[in-house]
Amino acid sequence: MIDPITIAFSVACPYRHAFEMWTARIGAWWPADHTVSGHPQAVILEGATGGRIFERCADGTEHEWGRITAWDPPNGLAYTWHLRRDPVDATDVHVRFVPVADQLTRVEIEHRGWERLGASAGVWRDRNRAGWATLIPHLVHAIDEGDR
């Protein structure tokens, strides 16, 4: 078994708002350099089990990144993740939103399932660790700047 990536950080907002930002407002903070096209018109997370996570380009082209496998608002969600890969090679992401105080939420991420990627698992795990490190500040910034 390859160890999952585990990340935890805090955001200065109620946990319901943090969940909303991650899900319904994902397009407000998700950076273009973390997409397939590099210039999506929209980033969309369909909020229900079975829903898609995808980008839509101006010409209508859609690039699916994953599918929602668990939906528990505002406590958390889980999804498969295959950005720039075949869906059969999807890994699993679990995100929890834990209230710490009225205006403080701990976000806990576990990204696992690397074994499915065979010999390239270590490389993809390292890439995703770096991706998370550059993605999370965008969410924190959107919340800190009052994107409510």
Encode pLDDT of 28-50 as tens digits: 999 999 999 999 999 999 999 99
pTM (2 decimals)? Answer: 0.95
**Domain annotation covers residue 92:** yes
Average pLDDT value for residue range 102-128? 96
**Domain annotation covers residue 48:** no
Outline where 29-110 has alpha helix (H). none
Residues in the chain: 148
Q: What is the CATH number of the domain that holds 81?
A: 3.30.530.20
Average pLDDT value for residue range 5-18? 98
**Domain annotation covers residue 106:** yes
Q: Are 2 and 114 in contact (CB under 8 A)?
A: yes
- Using the predicted structure, report yes or no on whether residue 87 has a pLDDT greater than 60: yes
Query: What is the percentage of the chain residues whose pLDDT exceeds 70?
Result: 99
Q: Is 50 left (phi over 0), alpha (psi -120 to 50) or beta?
A: left
Rounded CA gap, 83 and 94, in Å?
Answer: 16
Q: What is the pLDDT of residues 118-148, one digit of tens each?
A: 999 999 999 999 999 999 999 999 999 875 4
DSSP strands (E only) in the chain = 5-11, 42-45, 52-56, 62-72, 76-81, 91-101, 104-112
Amino acid 7: pLDDT: 98
Amino acid 147: pLDDT: 58
Q: Are 117 and 110 in contact (CB under 8 A)?
A: no
User: What is the distance in angstroms between the CA of the first residue and the CA of the last residue of the chain?
Assistant: 40
The total of structural domains in the chain comes to 1
- Match 């089990």 to its residue by tokens: 49
Paired tokens of 6: 């585990």
Average pLDDT value for residue range 93-104? 97
**Domain annotation covers residue 52:** no
Amino acid 8: pLDDT: 98
**Domain annotation covers residue 110:** yes
**Domain annotation covers residue 61:** no
Q: Which domain holds residue 88?
A: 5-29+69-144
